[in-house]
Amino acid sequence: MPRSPMRAAPTEAMGFAMRTEPLKVALLGCGVVGSEVARLMTANAADLAARVGVPLELAGIAVRRPNRQREVPGVAPELFTTDAEALVKRDDVDLVIEVIGGIEPSRALILAALESGKSVVSANKALLAEDGATLYQAAEKHGADLYYEAAVAGAIPLLRPLRESLVGDRVSRVLGIVNGTTNFILDRMDTTGAGFTEALEEATSLGYAEADPTADVEGFDAAAKAAILAGLAFHTRVTASDVHREGITEVTAADIASARAMNSVVKLLAICEVDPVAGKVSARVHPAMIPRSHPLAGVREAYNAVFIESESAGQLMFYGPGAGGSPTASAVLGDLVAIARNKMTGRRGPGESAYAGLTVRPVGEARTRYHISLDVDDKPGVLSAVAGIFAEQDVSIATVRQSGRGPDATLVIVTHLAPDAALTATVARLRALDFVRDVSSVMRVESE
Amino acid sequence: MPRSPMRAAPTEAMGFAMRTEPLKVALLGCGVVGSEVARLMTANAADLAARVGVPLELAGIAVRRPNRQREVPGVAPELFTTDAEALVKRDDVDLVIEVIGGIEPSRALILAALESGKSVVSANKALLAEDGATLYQAAEKHGADLYYEAAVAGAIPLLRPLRESLVGDRVSRVLGIVNGTTNFILDRMDTTGAGFTEALEEATSLGYAEADPTADVEGFDAAAKAAILAGLAFHTRVTASDVHREGITEVTAADIASARAMNSVVKLLAICEVDPVAGKVSARVHPAMIPRSHPLAGVREAYNAVFIESESAGQLMFYGPGAGGSPTASAVLGDLVAIARNKMTGRRGPGESAYAGLTVRPVGEARTRYHISLDVDDKPGVLSAVAGIFAEQDVSIATVRQSGRGPDATLVIVTHLAPDAALTATVARLRALDFVRDVSSVMRVESE
């Protein structure tokens, strides 16, 4: 007979009848993160056992290429297997860690684990942002846990605070730097004056960018994280395709110089906002200028930082290394201890919270500010004509600055908050003016 | 028959047989935090119900003075009672929030709640730092939860990340600004050049300091928080009396000016460190100079920020409002939702983790750096004699700077890391030298 859910079981309260044999863990993937997870599970075995109550033992490590030399200190070579599916389904496997990445076969493997009641830790932002709901439903149906702190901002504890600490509050906005590779590139462009290509090359040679940097520099990685953050912050479902996404490949040295002239820096920001009255949520990823006095402006190199604004708590910031084997492994192991403890006591962590059911607001409706640099003919009436275009679109101008004269004349315009669609239309109209020789920089501005 | 702790109960997995009537909450204390908790429980009732699964209903509010006019919007006057004990023990009360503060009657009330299996949220740093172990034992014995995120750094999610997110990692150091009142005072001294008394008066008039500011300015509040942080970070028991404590009442405008001359600021820091090889933990609270380039130097006014350094995650920082009714209420409500969800599903959150059983290292053994300003007679041989005193104590000097000549001659000395006891002894010897007219400033320096 199932016990009442309203009373803690005597087994929990008194601490008897507890399992003493090890919990067996299947590790799927053994790249940078997976090998560090395996190493730490061995090196810190005594601490982990003390924190869980029983030892955590590696049951097997699924890899794609069996012949590649694996050297994980303390891990027996016979633990490696290429049959991930068989490993997940083994009767002696209690818990599963997925650090393969990508949609398939990760999704099928995670679902197989959850369907046999095995709790899962995943670091897979792409999968969670595309199809988190399916995973959550499987976890709920089969009484298993799904934890994924490592999927966003590496080691920075961000999802647990959002899911649990702030659950009694109303989050209004999440604003952050969630991709280390692009932050490294933009930081280098700012400090050295380098162009995008040059800075990307440096990032690649230092190991901050992958051989194919598309996921990072085109903003796909940040968009997946923005979807996850928006969903958790606003208790609704948001997928990666709901996120407006612009990468940093179009950011030029001239943009960075423009920002510098305004005492600002360019950052790739993930911005999640909610309009509770309209029942709408928005999530966008794009480069933006922020003033150097803004705390996010001081986030250098490959670090991440995220602001969370909420009704009662006010403004919180979380800062730390956003990627890398060790930091990501720290987040994975924190989740592993959590699901192991839950399993030891028949408990479960929080499931999906998507009761709000908000709709996604298109980026055109988002209210933003633009910084626009125009190379113009230096003749009377130009400013008046330009100002007229802004007025037509109902966009209010905050500041105008003219630099240079004659053929070097440049107008730098910063607007007040306006709908993004109106700003886009304004820029298109400006480009069509015959005395505008070039729109040399268009960038959103975030100031608070 | 108790179910096996190794399988999630069908009731949880399938979601049937769930309670639908409201969970009833006893609120103990209705000051700044309590009244905000009551207000938010009413104003955000629908959201909270959606997140918990059933409504949360105030069963009663215990106050000390019945006649004081209470105006909490939406809260019926008949909910107020002066009999806290009877309220806690009422059969229809499911959960208890303690925001009274202080040791008694809070301890007796919390124990009464836990002993009847009622989970508790507390914001009581003094009690948790003095006698947390007793509370934890009662919670464990009776299968109840004890959450206290609000006890340290207000709304900043700090304890949950330490207890849960970093539980698979090894924390090596916690360094932070955990008292908003003293940070406000030191910030004002830095920006306006005011002395301690003047800055304290401003803090009091603006509501940042209480009428009796002792707990804040003498470092008792920060020491209690340091004890809680050290215990959680290092999985051991640390009480407030284990924490070396120095307040800011002795910090002078001259100290602040000295710091400024070194491009540094003075902050009241809580520093928790572990030496796993020696099996020792240390926790100390004292003013210290930090360089302006340090992220903690930019923490202004009454804000809090805490750095956590760990083996795998590296350096993390958490920043936000450290006090105030609304931020603290946010943390209390986050915990309230957590214990309510746990109760709905017969689960429990993590209990005490004190398996490491470390001993406390006295502050004399802590390795610190000192900044020392000496007013000296300007004559040959002085520097040599002063340097000799440092050498006698085996303290290595990093920099010496002489400013002024004749009767205004000042030597500013910054040491390398040395045992605190050796530095104290050095200062005592310097004071005794006849050509040292005054030791005008002695302050520890933290640089990383």
Residue contact B8–A156, C-beta within 8 A = no
Contacts of B156 in chain A (CB under 8 A): 313, 316
Which chain A residue is nearest to residue B147, measuring alpha carbons?
A165
| pLDDT above 70: percentage of residues in chain A | 95
How confident is the model over A130-160, as pLDDT tens digits?
A: 999 999 999 999 999 999 999 998 889 999 8
Q: Closest approach of chain B CAs to the CA of A392, in angstroms?
A: 42
The reported pLDDT for the residue numbered A67 is: 64
CATH 3.40.50.720 fits A17-154+326-345, yes or no: yes
Region A5-20: mean pLDDT is 45
Identify the helix (H) or strand (E) that includes residue A281.
strand A280-291
Please tell me the predicted confidence (pLDDT) of residue B440: 85
Transcribe B28-72 into DSSP letters.
Answer: E--SHHHHHHHHHHHHTHHHHHHHHSS-EEEEEEE-S-TTS----
Average pLDDT over residues B86-94: 97
In this structure, the number of other CB atoms found within 10 A of the CB of residue A5 comes to 18
Closest CB from A51, A144, A321 relative to B314: A321
| Angle of the A180-192 helix axis to the A253-261 helix axis, nearest 10 | 70
Chain A contacts in chain B segment 295-324 (CB below 8 A): 295, 298, 310-321
A351 touches chain B (CB under 8 A): no
**Among the partner residues A167, A327, A344, nearest to B313 by beta-carbon distance:** A327
Contact yes or no for B161 and A157 at CB 8 A: yes
Could you tell me if B335 and B121 are in contact, meaning their C-beta atoms sit under 8 angstroms apart? yes
Task: Quickly count helices (H) and strands (E) in chain B.
Answer: 15, 18
Hey, is A297 helix, strand or coil? helix
Determine contact: A166 vs chain B, CB below 8 A.
yes
**Nearest Cα residue in chain B from A331:** B165
Q: How confident is the model at residue A5 (pLDDT cuts 50, 70, 90)?
A: very low
Nearest to A346 among B7, B18, B343 (CB): B7
Asked if A223 and A236 touch (Cβ cutoff 8 Å), the reply is no
Residue B405, helix vs strand vs coil = coil
**What is the average pLDDT across A397-422?**
88
The two structure tokens encoding residue A148: 């994924």
Per-residue pLDDT band at A185 (split at 50, 70, 90): very high
Task: Evaluate whether B76 touches B38 at the Cβ level (below 8 Å).
Answer: no
Packing angle, helices B45-52 and B32-43, rounded to 10: 80
Cβ atoms of A171 and A240 closer than 8 Å? no
In this model, does residue B18 exceed pLDDT 90?
no
B6, B9, B18: residue with CB nearest A19: B6
The verdict on a CB contact (< 8 Å) between B157 and A156 is no
Per DSSP, chain A holds a count of helices (H) and strands (E) of 15, 18
Among the ranges given (A140-144, A406-410, B193-197, B246-250), the one the predictor scored with the smallest mean pLDDT: A406-410
For residue B294, the tally of other CB atoms under 10 A from its CB is 18
B30 is in an annotated binding site: yes
Question: B252 — phi, psi (to 5°)?
Answer: -105, 165
Instruction: Residue window 23-42, chain B: list those with CB within 8 Å of chain A.
Output: 36, 40
> Has B310 been labeled as part of a binding site?
no
Q: Is the pLDDT of residue A189 over 90?
A: yes
Contacts of A311 in chain B (CB under 8 A): 326, 330
A225 is catalytic: yes
Residues 59-88 of A with CB under 8 A from B: none
- Contact residues, chain A, for B166 at CB < 8 Å: 157, 330, 334
> Which pLDDT tens digit goes with each residue over A299-356?
989 999 999 999 998 899 999 998 888 999 999 999 999 999 889 877 777 788 888 8
Give Cα A35 distance to the centre of its chain: 22
Token pair in block for residue B347: 């689960």
Is the CB of residue B265 less than 8 Å from the CB of residue B186?
yes
Please tell me the distance from the alpha carbon of residue B227 to that of residue B414, in angstroms, as a whole number: 29
Residues A167, B5: C-beta atoms closer than 8 Å: no
Contact flag B319-A320 (C-beta cutoff 8 Å): no
Q: Which residues of A are less than 8 Å from B51 in CB distance?
A: 167-168, 235, 353, 355
Name the E strands within A115-161: 119-122, 146-147
- Alpha-carbon distance A254 to A373, whole Å? 10
Phi and psi torsions of B209, nearest 5°: -125, 145
Catalytic residue among A24, A225, A267, A343: A225
What is the interface size between A and B, counted as CB pairs within 8 Å? 271
Who's near B83: CB < 8 A, 6+ residues apart? B62
Sheet holding B119-122, edge to edge: B80-81, B56-62, B23-28, B95-98, B119-122, B146-147
Beta bridge partners of A444: A288, A370
> Which positions of A make up the binding site?
28-35, 125, 210
Minimum CA–CA partner of B7 in chain A: A346
Q: Which CATH superfamily is domain B161-321 in?
A: Dihydrodipicolinate Reductase; domain 2 (3.30.360.10)
Q: Pick the catalytic residue from B118, B225, B267, B343.
A: B225
Closest CA to A391 of A362, A366, A426, A357: A426
Nearest to A61 by CA among A107, A104, A16, A93: A93
- Does residue B341 sit at the A interface (CB-CB below 8 Å)? yes
Are A413 and A399 in contact, with CB atoms under 8 Å apart? Answer: yes
Strand ranges (DSSP E) for A93-159?
Answer: 95-98, 119-122, 146-147
| 8 Å CB contact between B287 and B246 | yes
**Partner-chain residue, chosen from B19, B334, B346, that has the shortest CB–CB distance to A169:** B334
Sequence-distant (≥ 6) Cβ neighbours of residue A57 within 8 angstroms:
A22, A23, A24, A25
Q: How far is A305 from chain B (nearest CA, A)?
A: 9
Euclidean distance between CA atoms B109 and B100, whole angstroms = 10
pLDDT tens-digit series, residues B219-236:
999 999 999 999 999 999
Q: Say if residue B31 carries a ligand binding annotation.
A: yes
pTM: 0.85
Give residue B7's pLDDT band: very low, low, confident or very high (50, 70, 90).
very low
Q: A328 to each of A122, A300, A319, A337, how far by Cα in Å? A: 11, 19, 14, 14
> Among A267, A443, A165, A370, which Cα is nearest to B160's?
A165
Model pLDDT, residue A345: 78
Return the exposure string of B372-391: e unless at least 16 CB atoms fall within 10 Å of the residue's CB, then b: bbbbbeeeeebeeebeebbe
Write the CATH number of the domain with boundaries B363-445: 3.30.70.260
Q: What is the pLDDT of residue B12?
A: 39
Nearest CA in chain B to A115: B13
Q: Please give the mean pLDDT across all residues of chain B.
A: 90
Q: Provide the 3-class DSSP secondary structure of residue A113.
A: helix
Does A9 sit within 8 Å of B3, measured CB to CB?
yes
Q: Please give the pLDDT value at position A448.
A: 62
pLDDT(B326) > 50: yes
pLDDT of the residue at A215: 94
Residue B394 neighbours by CB under 8 Å, 6+ apart: B418, B422
Q: Specify the amino acid at residue A69.
A: Q
Q: Do A318 and B316 touch (CB under 8 A)?
A: yes
- Cβ atoms A306, A133 nearer than 8 A: no
Give me the pLDDT at residue A77, please.
87
Q: What distances in angstroms separate CA B19 from CA B343, B374, B414, one per listed residue?
A: 10, 70, 64
Among chain A residues, CA nearest to B171: A330
Nearest to B169 among A235, A316, A333 (CB): A333
Write a three-state SS string for A31-97. Answer: CHHHHHHHHHHHHCHHHHHHHHCCCEEEEEEECCCCCCCCCCCCCCHHHEECCHHHHHHCCCCCEEE
Instruction: Give the residue from B95, B335, B160 showing the smallest Cα distance to A168.
Output: B335
**CB contact (8 A) between residue B319 and residue A316:** yes
Written as six digits, the tokens of A357 are 């059911």
pLDDT band at B212 (very low <50, low <70, confident <90, very high): very high
**Of A199, A268, A180, A316, the residue nearest B321 (C-alpha):** A316
Domain boundaries, chain A: 17-154+326-345, 161-321, 363-445
- Read off the pLDDT of residues B333-362 as tens digits, 9 standing for 90 and up: 999 999 998 898 777 777 888 888 899 998
Mean predicted confidence (pLDDT) in A288-308? 90
Q: Give me the half-sphere count of Cα atoms (radius 13 Å) on the Cβ side of residue A419.
A: 9
Residue B288 and residue B272: Cα distance in Å, rounded? 14
